[in-house]
């Protein structure tokens, strides 16, 4: 017989893995999403010359993505806001 503590830990770990798998996936065709984490050359210069609120969201760019999301949510009409 498996001890109850181990069963609970196994179930919690499995549930967390499943949730992370679903939540962590972002469709590549999402609006305003750029899958490149690091850019070089002309693409980098284009991104740097674009205002932060108009740049596409990119993975691991937490600060910029947060600024864009907060700006988008603040500019939505109040009827569309969901919490």
Question: How many Cβ atoms sit within 10 Å of the Cβ of residue 47?
Answer: 17
Mean pLDDT on 46-70? 90
Q: DSSP label at 54?
A: G
69-79 residue pLDDT tens: 899 888 887 76
16-28 residue pLDDT tens: 887 766 665 555 5
31-53 residue pLDDT tens: 678 888 888 999 999 989 999 98
Rounded distance between C-alpha atoms, residue 15 and residue 52, angstroms? 36
Q: DSSP label at 56?
A: P
Domain ranges in the chain? 4-80
Ramachandran bin of 41, using left for φ above 0, alpha for ψ from -120 to 50, beta for the remaining angles: left
Rounded distance between C-alpha atoms, residue 36 and residue 60, angstroms? 10
pLDDT of residue 51: 92
pTM over 0.75: no
């Amino acid at each position: 017989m498996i001890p109850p503590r181990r069963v609970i830990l196994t179930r919690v770990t499995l549930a967390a893995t499943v949730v992370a798998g679903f939540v962590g996936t972002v469709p590549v065709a999402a609006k305003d999403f750029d899958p490149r984490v690091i850019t070089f050359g002309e693409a980098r210069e284009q991104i740097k010359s674009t205002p932060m609120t108009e740049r596409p969201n990119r993975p691991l760019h937490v600060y910029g993505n947060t600024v864009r999301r907060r700006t988008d949510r603040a500019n939505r009409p109040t009827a569309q806001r969901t919490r």
